[in-house]
Amino acid sequence: MRLLFIGDIVGKPGRVMVKHHLPKIKEKYNVDFVVANYENASHGFGITPKNYKELKNSGIDVMTGGNHSFDKKEIFDLLENEPILRPLNMYEELPGKGIFINEEKKLAIISLMGDFTMPRFNNPFRIIEKYIQELEDYVIFIDFHAEATAEKRAMFIMLKNKISAFVGTHTHIGTDDLVIDTDAGYLTDIGLTGCFDNVIGMSEKEPLQRCKTGFSKKYDVVDECKKIFQAVVFDFEGKKCVDAFKIKAYDFEEEFISQKAFKL
């Protein structure tokens, strides 16, 4: 089975890149299943039902969340009824779920959120162990939405003998450490899909004001910018990850493989 994961889709520029590139990439690389992180998809903060349908129609099978999962209250019904996840370690009484199961493919997709600098919920290191035990017969893919690279690496080290692939999101900056370790794929952060010529996909005006004065307005996403599409592909045989590679595309130019996984 071949799974493709797209990093934080930021605003309209990110959605445009997904709609343009994903259908061609799925066909070219014979992708069986697509996962994407949605939490910045609607002008940088959460996702609306309209934008959810737009991305789903582009070919995404499951969407994972993060600290902005609840920014758009109108998606609460979707979180209950559609393959769109919020982090597993959020409190159980909140809308939605943190795990998607595809019984036909024996595939489990988990959305998990880090602790450092994030909204405070259940400890992700403790809660994930409980669920991993119940999924030992499945290919397990985890999107760990976290700030600190060390926290992502520590989580992978703890889980690598029990999962199939693990990718970090949230920083919007891709890392250069794609590996296969103990039959599990790992990447600290896939990076954003959207604008790349400003600050983490957002207009530079507000971040610069915050850096200089300590105060800022809400971050904004501009429509006109230089755009990037970033994804990672994992090949599984049974539960084992046997190959992986990163795909990049700038604006509407043809995509290319930017990195092959190193096997430890």
Q: What is the pLDDT of residue 118?
A: 87
CB count, 10 Å around CB of 16? Answer: 20
CB distance 34 to 60 below 8 Å: yes
Q: What is the pLDDT of residue 89?
A: 96
Can you give the length of the chain in residues?
A: 264
Can you tell me which residue has the tokens 């990672």?
232
- How far is residue 69's CA from residue 100's CA, in Å, rounded to a whole number? 16
- How far is residue 235's CA from residue 4's CA, in Å, rounded to a whole number? 9
Residues 6 or more apart whose Cβ sits within 8 Å of residue 189: 7, 149, 152, 167, 168, 169, 170, 171, 172, 173, 174, 175
CB distance 193 to 11 below 8 Å: no
Is 68 in the active site? yes
Can you tell me which residue has the tokens 């880090």?
114
| Residue type at 126 in one-letter notation | R
Can you tell me which residue has the tokens 């499945």?
138
- How far is residue 47's CA from residue 141's CA, in Å, rounded to a whole number? 22
Q: What is the pLDDT of residue 218?
A: 82
Domains of the chain: 2-263 (3.60.21.10)
Q: What is the pLDDT of residue 207?
A: 87
- How far is residue 11's CA from residue 44's CA, in Å, rounded to a whole number? 5
| Positions in the chain short of pLDDT 50 | none
State how beta strands 179-181 and 184-187 pair. Answer: antiparallel
- How far is residue 230's CA from residue 215's CA, in Å, rounded to a whole number? 31
Q: What is the pLDDT of residue 216?
A: 77
For the chain, first and last CA: distance in Å? 21
Catalytic residue among 21, 68, 170, 172: 68
Q: What is the pLDDT of residue 217?
A: 80
The helix (run of H) or strand (run of E) holding residue 46 is none
